[in-house]
Structure 1
Amino acid sequence: MTTPSKTRRRPAILAAVCGISLLSGCSLTPLYERPAAPIPASYPVTAGSLDTRPAAQPTPQPTSGAEAASTIRSTAWCTQFPDPVLRRLIAAALEHNRDLKLAAARVEEARALHGGQSASRLPTVTLEGTTTHPARNTESAHQAGVALSAYELDFFGKAESLSDAALHEYLATEQAQRSARIGVVAEVVRSYVQERAAASRVALARRTIALRTAAVALLTRRVAAGASSPLELEQARSLVGSADTDLIEQQLVHARAGHALALLTGYSDAEATRDAPPFTSPAFGAGWGVTRAGLPSELLMARPDIVAAEQRLQAANAQIGAARAAFFPSVRLTAMGGLASGELNNLFTPGSGALQFVPQVSLPIFDGGRNRANLDLAKARESLAVIEYERAIQTAFREVSDALNRQTLLDREVAARRAMHEVEARRRTMTMNRYLAGAVGYLEVLDAERGLFAADQALLDARRARLENAAALYRALGGCPSASG
């Protein structure tokens, strides 16, 4: 319906439209309450740990991921990697990793979806002009003005609920990107440890070959002097051959580890670990790992996969509000204010103003149960999201507990392996001295050689496992806020 407008009526109409808009926004979304975390208040203390505090009883969890992050930043728990070579490799991996680029693209996609959903809550205003030429002997009609096209008033919060759901999905995608970053860091640390450990095994094999070759030279002289038998010389040569075989195997392992690290970081095999400290040096791995036991389990609430699960739970909760709103009437406004005239040359003359205002009310009466089914679906998805959230917490708690338990046990294993290495080294020296003095046969020397070599390898493996566990603990605890972003 088009009627000539009067100046005094325009403010009243605009005020009415604004008033109706302000009345909209009554949300039907259920009040969100975070489910209780199905875990104890702190991680169990490992047998043999220096922490002798009794197990804590369950306590309330933080109210938000931000509160948990604040707790994390104030607690000296975080695994750090001060090695400058490792930090260079991590930076390169974060820059070139394709999985991270894919995660970043998904974040941009989710951000755009949220922006589009948020924009649907605002009216679309356009500048329009129309000319109508009806049948013969009928006057033409010309219009120009500003139009509001089918704007739905959000009386019951449907648009707001959908916008909130899109926001939480976007935030969950951001956490997935953060989780991918943490995974890349942990994988670089693990690959770096494996490459350095493999290089140390190669060095051990070469050092063993040198020592056994020297023993062959000694026995050759003793055989020539009649002090040793040719059988003992052949046994010594057998040990050299065994060490040669082990060297080839360790070189293959080292090559594979170097290729894996280069693939992660983009460096060549030679460049990746240039200037890296030897694996057996005290500087390697210094400062890695959690320094105290009895960590509060609330640290998990800032782990990205748990934060993402909670964001998806809140998105499902918001979808219930949108499904409930579908049961109520919807009001759409279509309006146009501007100029209208039967003659184009009179369109902009005084008195040609016009206002078209078409409200439309829609009330669902019969939909075959579609709205009820959509509401049931939204509630079912919320129940699934609750289960997934609780499962994410339980999985994270188990991963951290396992890593903490391994950390304590591996520390003890490294100490035990180091003590065993010292014992085997002394035994080998004493046995060789006794052999040179004629007190024992060369078979005891062979046994001591094999024992020392096995002790060296076991010590390297124990140190590698402990440092790999530091990477696992970094991943399990959700990284460091200062390092992972």
Structure 2
Amino acid sequence: MRPLVVTIVAGTLMAAGCTMTPAYQRPAAPTSSRYPTGGVYATQPSHGGGDRSARDRAAADIGWREFFADPRLQKLVEIALRNNRDLRVAVFNVDADRERYRITRAASLPAIDAAAGANVQRTPKDLAVSGRTVSRDYSVGLNTSWEIDLWGRIRSLSGAALAQYLATAQARKSIQIALVAQVADEYLTLLAYDDLLNVTKNTLSTAQESYRLTKLQFDTGVGSELDLKEAQSVVDHARANLEAQARARAQAENALVLLIGEPLPDDLPLGLSLDAQDLLTEVPAGLPSDLLSRRPDIMEAEEQLIAANANIGAARAAFFPRISLTGAFGTASPSLGDLFKAGSAAWSFAPQVALPVFEGGANTANLNRANVLKQIQIANYEKTLQTAFREVADGLAARGTYDNEIAALRSNQDAQQRRFDLAYARYRNGADSYLSVLTAQNDLDSSERQLVATRLARWTSIVDLYRALGGGWLEHSGDKPLAPDATASYARANSPM
């Protein structure tokens, strides 16, 4: 009775395709269920209804061509997606991991090889049978081998390879989304340097005119040498700033060229100035739980966790017997001419069972290591969630404060400009010293630089929030969302796990 039960159980397990992989459970999110509210988060852009409105669509559903209104920036993103080498490597990595998955999955199927052979052997005469010292054997046929995956070792390894493949596909998607944001950030940085150069050129022009007037007063004995040197220092400082900013702009352009993968084309469309950029600022944040299906880095981390979980099944299966079947079928003959004649058929069948008896603790160590690696992937997954939550929260804090900050800085710039005009007029009329002009000019220059820097920070924070919410994968809003790899969903649906 017992052998019959064992046979039935073994057959049932084989038919069900069981594995020893632990049931996967997604770890609980180590973050709040909602983003912060109140304080700096209280002021957020309202949801408009015009052509340049997000219309309450999630960032992942908004194409980058709609998010960026600047035609020059749109062209640069298009070129980068075609040429960027990091993205190209990511695509090749997906292809490589897909083939590795196919290799692993192929181990669950019988391997069949065609073989032909000849064996010629000489035996000493006193040992020869029937007096024949030379014997010849010819054979041709098919050889097959197959491991019966009773305990799911191969299926677990195949599942781990599939999860790794899908993780690489998500990594490719993450790189593309990051690339779109990086191109936008570098382009906006380039526009900021253009504005800073204009500010410095205006400062230099004003400083040179001030120096000319101060030198004229000094030459006529009306002004002092102290005023002259102070005016000269302003000119020299502006010249130094101009060179430094020209260098920084050139380096920013080089960074942009690296991202797009080719020199900046001469036929790029005209772009918008930094102040005239028109991004979709009111993209809704949604809930932190939405990130699980919108952030490819989170999905990549989860696939890595699934792979680690599957490896535990393979490590567990190593403790149980491995059953393999080998066989051959073909023809054999002592003469080549008789190889395919009737009666030359030959076959062999050799089942084998290997049961681990003593492995020096290797199987136990492998299982312990697989469990530790799973804990590492759990920690990585949780850290990825926390990082995503922090990036979105930072973006919301930025979006809720930059508008008011820029309004205050613009008002301050107007006040500093008026202050400089008054100080310069008083100095020309001899009612005040040049120190007042110098102080006012330095404060005006500082306020203009701060305004440019804050405008840049505002725009880049909006771009980064768009990325943090999973935006940048679609080119056009309304496009059918594609999997990171077109075959990924098919592979999982047809996985033997």
Instruction: Specify the TM-score bucket, using the shorter chain as the normaliser.
Output: 0.7 to 0.9
Shift in CA distance, 130/243, structure 1 to aligned 2, threshold 3 Å: closer
Contact 1:41 1:298 in 2 (8 A): no
2:243 maps to which residue?
A: 248
Structure 1: segments with no counterpart, 5+ residues: 1-18, 53-69
Q: Using the alignment, how far apart are the partners of 1:230 and 1:222 within structure 2?
A: 5
- Where 1:481 maps in the other structure, the secondary structure is coil
Q: CA deviation at 1:330?
A: 1.7
Query: Which of 159, 162, 166 is equivalent to 2:161?
Result: 166
Residues 415-424 or 457-466, more deviating: 415-424
Matched, 1:147 2:161: no
The verdict on how the C-alpha distance between 1:387 and 1:78 changes in structure 2, with shifts beyond 3 A counting, is farther
| 2:289 is aligned with 1:302 | no
- Which amino acid is the alignment partner of residue 145 of structure 1? G
Residue 465 of structure 1: CA displacement? 1.6
Structure 1 residue corresponding to 2:308, chosen from 316, 332, 356: 316
Q: What is the CA–CA distance in structure 2 between the aligned matches of 1:369 and 1:425, rounded to whole Å? A: 79
432 and 167 in structure 1: CA distance in 2 versus 1, 3 angstrom threshold: same
Is 1:208 aligned to 2:203, yes or no?
A: yes
| 2:96 counterpart of 1:103 | no
1:112 corresponds to: 99
User: What residue number does 1:11 align with?
Assistant: none
Go from structure 1 to structure 2 and tell me whether the alpha carbon gap of 1:468 and 1:261 turns closer, same or farther (over 3 Å shift).
same
Matches within 5 A, 1:417-432: 417-429=409-421
- Verify: 1:124 aligned to 2:111, yes or no: yes
**Which residue of structure 1 lines up, in the alignment, with residue 356 of structure 2?**
364
Aligned residues: 444
Query: CA 1:298 to 1:464, structure 2 compared with 1: closer, same or farther past 3 Å?
Result: same
Which residue does the alignment assign to 1:458?
A: 450
Separation of aligned partners in 2, 1:172 and 1:214: 62
Matches within 5 A, 1:216-255: 229-231=222-224, 234=228, 239-255=234-250
CA offset at residue 206 of structure 1? 1.5
CA distance in 2, matches of 1:379, 1:294: 35
- Residue type matched to 1:124 in 2? A
1:289 and 1:473 in contact (8 A); partners too: no
* Alpha-carbon distance in structure 2 between the residues aligned to 1:426 and 1:174: 57
Aligned to 1:14: none
Residue 236 to residue 229, structure 1, CA distance change in 2 (3 Å): farther
Match of 1:264 in 2: 259
Is 1:93 aligned with 2:89? no
| Equivalent residue for 2:27, pick from 16, 30, 35 | 35
SS in 2 for 1:336: strand
Q: Return 295-304 or 236-245, whichever deviates more.
A: 236-245
Aligned to 1:328: 320
| Contact 2:22–2:312 (Cα < 8 Å) also in 1 | yes
Match of 1:383 in 2: 375
| Distance in 1 separating the partners of 2:423 and 2:264 | 41
Deviation at 1:343, TM superposition (A): 4.9
1:319 is displaced (CA, Å) by 0.9
Q: Provide the TM-score with structure 2 as the length reference.
A: 0.76
Three-state SS of the structure 2 residue aligned to 1:482 is coil
**2:468 equivalent in structure 1:** 476
Deviation digits for residues 359-395 of structure 1, max 9, x if unmatched? Answer: 1122223333322222222112112211111122112
Cα distance in 1 for partners of 2:156, 2:291 equals: 30
Greater CA drift, 215-224 or 235-244: 215-224
Equivalent residue number for residue 279 of structure 1: 274
Distance, in Å, in 2 between the alignment partners of 1:391 and 1:101 is 27
Partner residue in 1 for 2:394:
402
Q: 2:178 aligns with which of 171, 180, 183?
A: 183
Partner of 1:338: 330
Alpha-carbon offset, residue 463 of structure 1 = 0.6
Overall identity of the aligned pairs, in %: 36
Secondary structure at the counterpart of residue 250 of structure 1: helix
Alignment CA distance shift 1:364-1:220 (3 Å): closer
1:233-291 Cα distance to aligned partner (Å, 9 max, x none) = 846666444433432332233233233333333455795987333334x2x3x115453
Query: Are residues 1:413 and 2:405 paired?
Result: yes
Over residues 281-326 of structure 1, what are the superposed CA-to-partner deviations in whole Å (9 max), with x where a residue is unaligned?
x2x3x11545345654422543222222111111111111111112
Measured after TM superposition, the shift of residue 32 of structure 1 is 0.9
Q: Secondary structure at the match of 1:144?
A: strand
| Structure 1 letter corresponding to 2:223 | P
Q: Do 1:24 and 1:155's aligned partners in 2 also have CA atoms closer than 8 Å?
A: no
* Structure 2 unmatched ranges of 5 or more: 1-10, 45-56, 476-481, 485-497
The match for 2:347 among 326, 344, 355 is 355
Q: Distance in 2 between matches of 1:92 and 1:238?
A: 45
Q: Secondary structure at the match of 1:38?
A: coil
Cα distance between partner residues in 1 of 2:116 and 2:63: 67
- SS of match in other structure, 2:330: strand
Q: Per-residue displacement from partner, 1:120-169 (whole Å, max 9, x unpaired)?
A: 11111122234455654367554433221x31111111111111111111
- d(CA) in 2 for partners of 1:312 and 1:215? 65
One-letter amino acid matched to 1:332: S
The aligned amino acid for 1:91 is: E
Query: What SS does structure 2 have at the residue aligned with 1:45?
Result: coil
